[in-house]
Each structure stands twice: as structure tokens, then as C-alpha cells.
Amino acid sequence: MRFYVLFFVLIYFHYNGETQQAVTYNDSINGDVLDKRYREDHFYFSVNYNLLNHMPKDMSQNGFSIGLSLGYIRDIPLNDNRNFGLGLGIGFTTNSINQNLKISKTNDDIMYDIIDSEDFSKNKLSAQVIELPFELRWRTSTPSEYKFWRVYAGFKLGYVVAANSKFKGGGDQVSISNLKSELNEWQYGLTLSAGYNTWNVNFYYGLNTFFDENVQINGQKNKTRLVKIGLIFYLL
């Protein structure tokens, strides 16, 4: 539901901003008027494979861990050719991670146990995050060319708004809906997107730990970080 609400909010602000801005047209090709003050504002949608890096000993992932993101980025050109600039945006992402770390609750205490992958049929940790991407942008776009190469490198700040886990195995079913405090509330990392036209590869490397620094797994200090690899689609 949060995905759809955010989508309509982004559409409103995008088109509201477009109708209010002053546009200067000063050239044409074959009778088509060109806007030399164009911007590459984008809606974006990404599909990623989530990887946990620096996991504790004996902890592993299994199955497919997917991440979905949706948002809007405002383009800020920095040169006259408008092929180099900045991007500032807002979005929402949901991450799911399938692994062999059983999360359970005793009274008010959260417990972590690494178990054998054969002892359960489902074990998923999910988190929903509001994200603020910042990009340094280079592209081969022109006022008349809408298909171009791009390389966007940047930084992404995320705020965890919700987290939950579901476990099923060995006759036991455990569902915990309030795990936000167990994760790092603020998550941030480096990003890189590159490609041609709509299709682009996407990479994210977390710079801080995925779990809260006070979380210990099998007595080991937590160093686990989130890495995301996938595709990102930019829509004008």
C-alpha cells in the first residue's frame, strides 16, 4: 500500500512542478521545437538481489532475496550542455532477505539463533525504508535525443520505517512484526547506475551495518552489511 501512495504523491509533485516552471525554447530541428533548458527528471523503479556481506560464522542466505524500490529524482544540470549534473530524490524501498538466522522473541527479548537450512521451510526478514538518493550524473543526452548512455554515481540515505520476520519449520511458526529497533535505523551506502536508455544496471554497497550495533549473533559482534545488485528503470 505504501508503494501506491508514494507513487501518486510523486506524480502529483512532478506534474505540478512542470506546469509551474518557465521553459525557454530557442531552437528547432525539422520544425520540432527544442528545449535547451531541459532536465532529466525521472521516476525510477529498481529490482535488486539482496546480499548480506560480512555475515557471522555459519550464517548464510538461501532462496532469492529481492529488493524493490520506487521513487522520483529531480535533475539539476551543472553545465551549458546539460550532460553533467546532480540528482536529488525521494523514494521507498522494501527488502526481503531469506537466510538461516532464526529470530524469535522471549518476553521482551529478541533472540538470534543460526540453524541448519534443512530445519525450516521459510525464514525471511523484511524491512521497509524511505530513501533519499543523491547522484552525480553524466549522460550523452541532448535536447533532441531521448535515448542516451548514462553513468550515475552517488550516495543513498535510508530510514527504516518498519521491519518484520517470519519463520516456519520443525512444527514451529514465529512471526515478529516490530523489529525496527533491531536494525540500524539509518542506513546509508554508495550507489552506481549505468546503462543505455531505460535499461540500467544498479549497485548499492552499504557503508554501515544492517543490524543495530548492539545486536550480537552467537556471541559475535555484528558486522553484517547490505549489498544490492540489479536493474533500475528510469521513466521520464
In the chain, what percentage of residues exceed pLDDT 90?
Answer: 53
Position 209 scores a pLDDT of 94
User: Do the beta carbons of residue 75 and residue 42 sit within 8 Å?
Assistant: yes
For residue 167, the model assigns a pLDDT of: 92
Q: What is the pLDDT of residue 35?
A: 57
Reading the block at residue 4, the C-alpha cell is 501506491
Say how far apart CA 127 and CA 185 lie, in whole Å.
11
Distance separating alpha carbons of residues 3 and 130, to the nearest angstrom: 11
CB–CB of 209/184 below 8 Å?
yes
Low-confidence ranges of the chain (pLDDT < 70): 1-36
Residue 60 in grid coordinates: 548464510
Give the separation between CA 117 and CA 101, rounded to whole angstroms: 9
Q: Which residue has the cell 514465529?
A: 174
Q: State the cell numbers at 93.
A: 524501498
Question: What is the C-alpha to C-alpha distance for residues 69 and 142, in angstroms, rounded to an integer?
Answer: 28
Question: Can you tell me the distance from the alpha carbon of 33 to that of 214, in angstroms, rounded to the nearest whole number?
Answer: 59
CA distance 197 to 164: 36
